[in-house]
């Protein structure tokens, strides 16, 4: 019997059809270089298609038309400084310099974006850098139309097909792929671009890097299992880097989508009430709720979980009153032209919602602080001290420890029953993986590129020191641009090889 693997051949294999992969494939399509685009899922598109709202860019034509003063120099200096110089300067520079032109390119791809003000209250006065998808449904539909274009030019798009290995000795020979049934195919090729989206879908990698991984509400692309990172590492690529979590927002459950907002419990977690960590201490100015990345980083910093504390009086107040606090997700869901609400409530269903959440364990109800300390296994002394000190700040309209704005110091915790909402750090993926050079080629610890391989998007080290910065759209912007860079470099190298042959 002949067990020989089926064989295909092409010039370039692109692994993953999310932002970085679709962008790489589009460049190859435009340059008429034959390729095979692989996608583990049954449809094209990863987090970039199903999740991301936009991309970061500087010096786009739209920004120029609006006389935006923030350009390459400000972004380069800002990001380098923000990350304490733990950045890959050449890669960062190349990304930023191409980011503006990428906006026009996205229009050519059928994925137009428009520069708009931030959706986050903490960033309303930031420079205009966020280019948002005009219409989410259209984005998804247009993404789905790209494979047909690629195929019409003789390329292949293989869904339900995952890259699993490489045949590599002194250069790339083939990418080994497996379909849903495990049947393997050998794709003989000269170049591979790993655009498989990081590793948030690999529980072992997550646990190895993040001690609090079990506390995360993982909203990232779970089909991203670290394939490219692992295979590049096997070939000697340097993967040394501080783990970078794409922490973004928090939610009162490991199941709930924090942006769904269908329960008053969620609404209250999206406000700057009193937050305590697992040691019953306050740990941050709760105003951080208005900056998604910083909010989630603060939660990650206290092992991925914290409690939102309120008493029955406060709950009853929300039931019948409009409260002058803005829901942090309000602006994300405003229709164009709609004025965002800067208040919440009344919340007539709040008691029912809380009672339901008590049943699922998302909320813990206690008769008193002593009872709560017992139920949550907290130090009563620490709990009493934290609550007392917070109540004092509310009474005095001044928080001289964490410096929360006085207009957010609204609700002390005085009489039982008391409620603790169990809040978890939400994540949208991972942002560390392989060290690469300015061409997105993986490099060894000696800095030598591993030829014929390119690593892009969420798989790459070098843009962030230790956490996601508050530069909206930067992960997705980098994914599109890095896919573009890798494809350009692959084409250049193929053409060079042809000349030399």
Q: Which residues bind ligand FAD (CB under 6 A)?
A: 15-21, 38-41, 45-48, 51-54, 162-163, 195-197, 219-221, 223-225, 227, 428-429, 457-458, 473-476, 479
What is the Cα–Cα distance from 252 to 259, expressed in whole angstroms? 11
Closest approach, Cβ 342 to ligand FAD, in A, equals 22
Non-local (6+) Cβ contacts of 221 within 8 A are 18, 46, 47, 50, 51, 197, 198, 200, 201, 429
Q: With respect to ligand FAD, which residue has the nearer C-beta, 264 or 459?
A: 459
CB 434 within 8 A of CB 453: no
CB 246 within 8 A of CB 51: no
Closest approach, Cβ 471 to ligand FAD, in A, equals 9
**β-strand pairing of 305-311 with 184-188:** unpaired
Closest approach, Cβ 104 to ligand FAD, in A, equals 18
What is the Cα–Cα distance from 205 to 208, expressed in whole angstroms? 5
Q: With respect to ligand FAD, which residue has the nearer C-beta, 45 or 345?
A: 45
Closest among 8, 9, 22 to 486, alpha carbons compared:
22
Q: Any idea what the Cα angle at residue 214 is, between residues 45 and 264, rounded to 5°?
A: 80
Closest approach, Cβ 251 to ligand FAD, in A, equals 12
Q: With respect to ligand FAD, which residue has the nearer C-beta, 332 or 351?
A: 332
What is the Cα–Cα distance from 143 to 436, expressed in whole angstroms? 27
What is the Cα–Cα distance from 286 to 328, expressed in whole angstroms? 12
Q: With respect to ligand FAD, which residue has the nearer C-beta, 100 or 412?
A: 100
Bond preceding residue 25 cis, omega within 30 of 0:
no
Judged on CB neighbours under 10 Å (0-12, 13-18, 19+), 2 is exposed
What is the Cα–Cα distance from 430 to 95, expressed in whole angstroms? 19
Q: With respect to ligand FAD, which residue has the nearer C-beta, 170 or 335?
A: 335
Closest approach, Cβ 26 to ligand FAD, in A, equals 12
Q: With respect to ligand FAD, which residue has the nearer C-beta, 325 or 428?
A: 428
Provide the 8-state DSSP code for 162: E
Closest approach, Cβ 226 to ligand FAD, in A, equals 8
3-state SS, 385-449, equals HHHHHHHHHHHHCCCCCCCCCHHHCCCCCCCCCEEEEEEEEEEEEECCCECECCCCCEECCCCCE
Q: With respect to ligand FAD, which residue has the nearer C-beta, 202 or 423?
A: 202
Helix (H) or strand (E) holding 312: helix 312-320
CB 453 within 8 A of CB 489: no
What is the Cα–Cα distance from 408 to 398, expressed in whole angstroms? 10
Closest approach, Cβ 405 to ligand FAD, in A, equals 26
Q: With respect to ligand FAD, which residue has the nearer C-beta, 155 or 458?
A: 458
Closest approach, Cβ 263 to ligand FAD, in A, equals 19
Q: With respect to ligand FAD, which residue has the nearer C-beta, 82 or 402?
A: 82
Q: With respect to ligand FAD, which residue has the nearer C-beta, 37 or 288?
A: 37
Closest approach, Cβ 460 to ligand FAD, in A, equals 8
Residue nearest to ligand FAD (CB): 18
Count other C-beta atoms under 10 Å from residue 14's C-beta. Answer: 37
Closest approach, Cβ 108 to ligand FAD, in A, equals 18
Closest approach, Cβ 300 to ligand FAD, in A, equals 16
**What backbone phi and psi angles, to 5 degrees, belong to 13?**
-110, 130
Q: With respect to ligand FAD, which residue has the nearer C-beta, 76 or 133?
A: 133
């Amino acid at each position: 019997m002949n067990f020989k693997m089926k064989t295909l051949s092409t010039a370039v294999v692109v692994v993953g059809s999310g932002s970085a992969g679709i962008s790489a494939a589009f460049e190859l399509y435009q340059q008429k270089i034959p390729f095979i685009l692989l996608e583990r899922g049954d449809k094209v598109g990863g987090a970039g298609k199903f999740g991301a709202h936009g991309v970061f860019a500087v010096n786009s034509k739209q920004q120029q038309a609006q006389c935006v003063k923030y350009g390459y120099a400000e972004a380069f200096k800002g990001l380098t400084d923000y990350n304490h110089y733990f950045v890959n300067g050449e890669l960062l520079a190349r990304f930023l310099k191409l980011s503006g032109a990428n906006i026009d390119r996205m229009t050519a791809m059928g994925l137009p974006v428009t520069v708009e003000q931030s959706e986050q209250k903490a960033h309303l006065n930031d420079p205009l850098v966020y280019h948002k998808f005009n219409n989410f449904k259209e984005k998804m539909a247009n993404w789905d139309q790209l494979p047909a274009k690629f195929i019409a030019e003789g390329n292949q798009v293989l869904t339900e097909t995952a890259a699993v290995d490489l045949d590599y000795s002194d250069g790339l020979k083939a990418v080994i792929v497996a379909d849903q049934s495990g049947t393997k195919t050998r794709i003989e090729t000269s170049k591979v671009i790993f655009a498989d989206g990081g590793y948030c879908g690999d529980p072992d990698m997550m646990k190895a890097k993040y001690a609090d991984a079990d506390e995360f509400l993982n909203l990232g692309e779970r089909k991203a299992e670290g394939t490219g990172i692992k295979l590049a590492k096997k070939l000697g690529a340097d993967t040394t880097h501080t783990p970078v979590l794409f922490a973004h927002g928090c939610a009162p459950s490991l199941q709930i989508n924090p942006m769904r907002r269908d329960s008053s419990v969620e609404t209250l977690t999206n406000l700057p009430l009193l937050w305590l960590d697992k040691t019953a201490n306050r740990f941050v100015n709760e105003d951080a709720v208005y900056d998604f990345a910083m909010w989630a980083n603060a939660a990650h910093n206290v092992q991925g979980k914290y409690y939102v504390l309120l008493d029955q009086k406060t709950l009853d107040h929300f039931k019948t009153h409009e409260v002058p606090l803005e829901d942090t997700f309000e602006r994300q869901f405003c229709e164009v032209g709609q004025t965002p609400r800067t208040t919440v409530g009344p919340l007539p269903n709040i008691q029912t919602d809380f009672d339901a959440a008590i049943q699922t364990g998302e909320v813990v109800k206690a008769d008193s602080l002593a009872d709560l300390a017992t139920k949550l296994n907290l130090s009563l002394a620490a709990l009493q001290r934290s609550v007392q000190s917070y109540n004092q700040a509310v009474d005095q309209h001044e928080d001289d420890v964490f410096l929360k704005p006085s207009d957010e110091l609204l609700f002390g915790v005085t009489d039982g029953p008391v409620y603790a909402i169990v809040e978890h750090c939400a994540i949208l993926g991972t942002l560390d993986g392989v060290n690469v050079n300015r061409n997105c080629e993986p490099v060894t610890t000696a800095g030598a590129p591993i030829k014929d391989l390119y690593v892009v998007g969420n798989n790459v080290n070098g843009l962030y020191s230790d956490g996601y910065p508050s530069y909206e759209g930067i992960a997705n912007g980098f994914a599109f641009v890095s896919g573009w860079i890798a494809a350009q470099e692959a084409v250049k190298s193929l053409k060079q090889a042809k000349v030399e042959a």
